[in-house]
């Protein structure tokens, strides 16, 4: 029987490069989704304003994107701002709306160089013009890239996404674009914001919360879930590798027999 504590110590003694090489020998999740939680608590523990936690969390986005790209992950979806996050204090929301601009201004040249393709899913209509402009620039500047897809879920909510998809399906049926008898899970998925992406293989949520928080409810039906108490600003490359290692040990049966 494998001693998990001994295995964990062994992994801790490995360098990041050594551990990466071991992980790359196993199956790599094609699409990883992350609920980045704990920025506010990270700041509160240090008697700092919440925006300091969001700024620190931005650094984590950068290093995890680099690592996912190096591992060969095809798509990385990050839950950056939910439709419910508008309920937060205005000062915090205003700062969060400026983060994409700040992040992409500094990181975009590296994304271009590393062959990363930026995408976004969510409702753009409520977002400030400077936020939308920053995202559109990143999407345009990386549109020729064919490496990792970095997909930001911004002003995104899964129930709203599903309802919007239902309305589009009904409209297409009324207009004769779709035969309702041909509607199935596969065709419905084409109406979702993730229609160009495979469903996530692995979901990571930080900060100790064990819920989906209205994130990709349709797409996560058979996704492997991995939760950690680590707050997002403290989430390291080794934590990400630990999540992938856990994924590699699981048997994915999709409802069938193993």
Task: Note down pLDDT in tens along the chain; length 258 residues.
Answer: 334 444 444 456 889 999 999 999 999 999 999 999 999 999 999 999 999 999 999 999 999 999 999 999 999 999 999 999 999 999 999 999 999 999 998 999 999 999 999 999 999 999 999 999 999 999 999 999 999 999 999 999 999 999 999 999 999 999 999 999 999 999 999 999 999 999 999 999 999 999 999 999 999 999 999 999 999 999 999 999 999 999 999 976 655 545
Q: Is 236 annotated as a binding residue?
A: no
- Give the other-Cβ count within 10 Å of 114's Cβ: 17
Q: Is 212 annotated as a binding residue?
A: yes
pLDDT at 14: 87
pLDDT at 129: 95
∠203-204-207 over CA atoms, to 5°? 145
Short-list 155, 88, 157, 161, CA closest to 128: 155
pLDDT at 161: 98
Annotated catalytic residue, options 13, 85, 123, 199: 85
pLDDT at 13: 81
pLDDT at 253: 64
Short-list 76, 148, 71, CA closest to 112: 148
- Which H helix or E strand runs over 81? strand 75-82
Residue 19: partners with Cβ closer than 8 Å, 6 or more residues away: 11, 238, 241
Q: Is 257 annotated as a binding residue?
A: no
pLDDT at 188: 97
Q: Is 145 a catalytic residue?
A: no
Q: Is 94 a catalytic residue?
A: no
* Buried/exposed code over 200-228 (b: 16+ C-beta within 10 A; e: otherwise): bbbbbbbbeeeebebbbebbbeebbbbbb
Residue 73: partners with Cβ closer than 8 Å, 6 or more residues away: 28, 29, 30, 31, 32, 148
Short-list 83, 96, 79, CA closest to 40: 96
Annotated catalytic residue, options 5, 12, 37, 145: 37
Q: Can you tell me the distance from the alpha carbon of 28 to that of 241, in angstroms, rounded to the nearest whole number?
A: 10
Edge-to-edge strand list for the sheet holding 31-35 = 117-121, 149-156, 75-82, 31-35, 202-205, 224-227
Q: Is 82 annotated as a binding residue?
A: yes
pLDDT at 8: 45
pLDDT at 152: 97
Instruction: Kindly report, residue by residue over 164-182, the tens digit of the pLDDT.
Output: 999 999 999 999 999 999 9
Domains of the chain: 27-157+199-249 (3.40.1180.10)
Q: Are 220 and 153 in contact (CB under 8 A)?
A: no
| Orientation angle between helical segments 16-23 and 237-249, nearest 10 degrees | 20
Q: Is 31 annotated as a binding residue?
A: no
């Amino acid at each position: 029987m494998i001693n998990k504590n001994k295995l964990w110590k062994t992994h801790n003694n490995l360098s990041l490069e050594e551990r990466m090489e071991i992980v790359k020998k196993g199956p790599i999740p094609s699409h990883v989704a992350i609920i980045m939680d704990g920025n506010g608590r990270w700041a509160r523990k240090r008697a700092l304003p919440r925006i300091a936690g969001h700024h620190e969390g931005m650094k984590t986005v950068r290093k995890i994107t680099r690592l996912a790209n190096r591992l060969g992950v095809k798509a990385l979806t990050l839950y950056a701002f939910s439709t419910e996050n508008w309920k937060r204090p205005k000062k915090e929301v205003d700062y969060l709306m400026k983060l994409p601009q700040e992040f992409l201004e500094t990181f975009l040249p590296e994304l271009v160089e590393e062959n990363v393709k930026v995408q976004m899913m969510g409702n753009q209509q409520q977002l400030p013009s400077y936020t939308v402009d920053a995202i559109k620039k990143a999407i345009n500047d990386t549109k020729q890239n064919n490496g990792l897809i970095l997909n930001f879920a911004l002003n995104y909510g899964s129930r709203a996404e599903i309802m919007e998809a239902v309305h589009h399906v009904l409209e297409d049926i009324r207009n004769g674009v779709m035969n309702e008898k041909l509607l199935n899970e596969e065709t419905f998925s084409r109406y979702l914001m993730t229609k160009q992406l495979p469903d996530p293989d692995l979901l990571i949520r930080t900060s100790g919360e064990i819920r989906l928080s209205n994130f990709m409810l349709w797409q996560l039906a058979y996704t492997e879930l991995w939760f950690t108490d680590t707050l997002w600003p403290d989430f390291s490359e080794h934590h990400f590798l630990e999540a992938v290692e856990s994924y590699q040990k699981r048997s994915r049966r999709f409802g069938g027999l193993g």
